[in-house]
């Protein structure tokens, strides 16, 4: 999908993200202390950078698995319909599970995936999201841990895309359009 020209202003630096992940990892280690194996589930694609940094801060026995869900596709508006494009490889019944998400916006994705994972009866399911936009919420859901609460800005980077672009930015930026919308 072509888009009008934009620039990206830094919102959260790579350094601030790293510091926050250290704090979050400490809390997660406390919560899951003594687990025989924690299954850390990344929600593709957006969480791929966050999960990579997070698991490297967790000195717990960890298994990494992925689930692919999509609600935005190439657009910028939630379809409110969450499609599972790729399921987990492993079983999670009776296991400790940490679901890792990059951002909670309307909440449809997180709510849907929590429901799906709960139906498989894990021993314990916890959720973490790097970013939360509470002002955009349409369904009642909140991650157990949140990295940063942010205002309603279009954010990109650190795994998050704008029409599939800018996922490789090392920090979180906000999109600023440099030309007015065509009439």
Q: Among residue numbers 43 through 62, which ones bind ligand PRP (CB under 6 A)? A: 43-46
Residue 42 interacts with ligand PRP (CB under 6 A): yes or no: no
Residue number, 35 or 71, with CB nearest to ligand PRP: 71
For residue 46, state whether it binds Mn ion (rule: CB under 5 A).
Answer: yes
Strand order in the sheet with 62-70: 83-86, 62-70, 38-44, 96-104, 124-132, 145-149
> Rule CB under 6 A: is residue 161 a binding residue for ligand PRP?
yes
Using the contact rule CB under 5 A, the part of the chain among 74-82, 101-109, 128-136, 154-162 near Mg ion is 154-162
* Other CB atoms within 10 Å distance of the CB of residue 125: 19
What's the rounded Cα separation, in Å, for the pair 169 and 80?
26
Nearer to ligand PRP, 29 or 134 (CB): 134
Residue 154 near Mg ion by CB under 5 A: no
SS (H, E, C) 14-70: HHHHHHHHHHHHHHHHHHCCCCCCEEEEEEECCCHHHHHHHHCCCCCCEEEEEEEEE
Q: Is 78 in the site for ligand PRP (CB under 6 A)?
A: yes
Mark 81-100 with x for binding to ligand PRP (rule: CB under 6 A) and - for no binding.
--------------------
- Which residues form the catalytic set? 105
The count of other CB atoms within 10 Å of the CB of residue 7 is: 10
- Point out which residues bind Mg ion (CB under 5 A): 72, 161
- Point out which residues bind ligand PRP (CB under 6 A): 43-46, 70-72, 78, 101-110, 161
- Point out which residues bind Mn ion (CB under 5 A): 46
């Amino acid at each position: 999908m072509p888009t009008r020209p934009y620039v990206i202003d830094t919102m959260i630096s790579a350094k601030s993200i790293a510091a926050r992940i250290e704090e979050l990892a400490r809390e997660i280690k406390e919560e899951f202390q003594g687990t025989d194996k924690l299954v850390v589930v990344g929600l593709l694609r957006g969480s791929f950078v966050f999960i990579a940094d997070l698991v490297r801060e967790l000195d717990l026995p960890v298994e990494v698995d992925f689930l692919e869900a999509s609600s935005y596709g190439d657009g910028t508006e939630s379809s409110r319909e969450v499609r599972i494009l790729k399921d987990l490889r492993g079983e999670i019944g009776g296991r400790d599970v940490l679901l890792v998400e990059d951002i909670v916006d309307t909440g449809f994705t997180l709510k849907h995936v929590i429901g799906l994972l709960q139906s498989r009866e894990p021993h314990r399911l916890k959720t973490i999201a790097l970013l939360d936009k509470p002002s955009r919420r349409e369904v009642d859901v909140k991650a157990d841990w949140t990295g940063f609460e942010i205002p309603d800005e279009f954010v990109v980077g650190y795994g998050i895309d704008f029409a599939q672009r800018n996922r490789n930015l090392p920090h979180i930026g906000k999109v600023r359009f440099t030309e007015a919308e065509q009439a």
